[in-house]
Amino acid sequence: MDKQKLEITFVDIDSLKPATYNPRKHSEETAKQLENSIKKFGLVDPIIVNNAPSRRNIVIGGHFRLEVAKKMGFKKMPVVYLNIPDVNKEKELNIRLNRNV
């Protein structure tokens, strides 16, 4: 596997598209906890986003952070882009990131 240098880029939050297949749901309590954490520490963990031409700006990991950041009024989001043209591999990575497997 080729080693890629991962770079964090700050992207217009409105250009990011949550994946329709993302299975995770969160309670209002966990949303409030994440909001408090972001207020205290900032957005210290970038989200993972696809940059393949056919899947550009589809969020693979970090949907919850994106949702809370939008509600908090953030305009930019820290992003690490990956090029994954195969939607099945994209979905697999989403599941693995959600389960931390």
Q: What is the pLDDT of residue 3?
A: 65
Both structure tokens of 38:
């972001």
DSSP characters over 20-41: TT------HHHHHHHHHHHHHH
Both structure tokens of 46:
């970038």
Tell me which DSSP letter residue 15 carries: G
pLDDT per residue rounded down to tens, the chain (101 residues): 456 688 999 999 999 999 998 877 888 999 999 999 999 999 999 999 999 999 999 999 999 999 999 999 999 999 999 999 999 999 999 989 877 54
Q: What is the pLDDT of residue 100?
A: 57
d(CA 12, CA 66): 11
Q: What is the pLDDT of residue 23?
A: 73
d(CA 83, CA 73): 28
